[in-house]
Amino acid sequence: MALRAAHAGKDQAFGANVLAGMARQMLYNSRPDDALQLISLAQEGARGIVGPRMRAMLHTREAWAYAAQGRAAGFQRATARAAEALDETRPDEEEPYWITYFDEAELAGVTGGRLLDLARKDPKQHAEQAAAQIQAALSARGTEVSRSHALDRIGLAECYFLVGDVSGAVGETQRAVEAARLTQSDRVRTQLGQLYPYTVGHSASRPVREARDSIRDLLSS
């Protein structure tokens, strides 16, 4: 319906944004091929019309699809294009209000999240880079963006688990749980649930067990 409304209103920029949202849903449903097709349509329809922030966002959705397909080289190319587009933003340039959220912090956060997707299959290659991007997002965003802050903390905790830094992982897990208490986001709770298996095991140390308990207590509340 939104896409039809954008077409009727001749708002090609918003139509591209709707397609990007549809691609996001395809990615959440493990359908990266469909997501890539939708993003290609969005980029084609937006060519020569949208500003640099919108172009950057579309490139990150493209990168997400490549990461979901396990195509690391394609992911890197699309991410580089997103960074180049964002560098073209100017303070006096007017862009739709619904894309103003996309800044350097958002780019770092989504890049870190997609590197984490790749790191789950190849931790040695991608986990440290993912952690660095997520840390950059945390530094730039601050704690006032509670949902994004919680997601960043969860992602960083997983990065530490993947590289074997148990102490760092436990600390970030506790901070992630504290941040999650400040938001009612279902996605935050879903991500915490995905972090939980890292804390399970007969050989888990006391700090790891305590981190596990904190996740379980929050998810059951």
Q: Which amino acid is at 1?
A: M
| Whole-Å CA distances, 164 to 48, 80, 112, 203 | 46, 29, 18, 14
Residue 56 three-state SS? helix
Give the DSSP per-residue string, 63-87: HHHHHHHT-HHHHHHHHHHHHHHHH
Ordered per-residue pLDDT tens for the chain, 221 residues: 999 999 999 999 999 999 999 999 999 999 999 999 999 999 999 999 999 999 999 999 999 999 999 999 999 999 999 999 999 999 888 889 999 999 999 999 999 999 999 999 999 999 999 999 999 999 998 766 689 999 999 999 999 999 999 999 999 999 999 999 999 999 999 999 999 999 998 667 899 999 999 999 999 98
Contact 112, 130 (CB under 8 A): yes
- Residue appearing with tokens 């006391």: 206
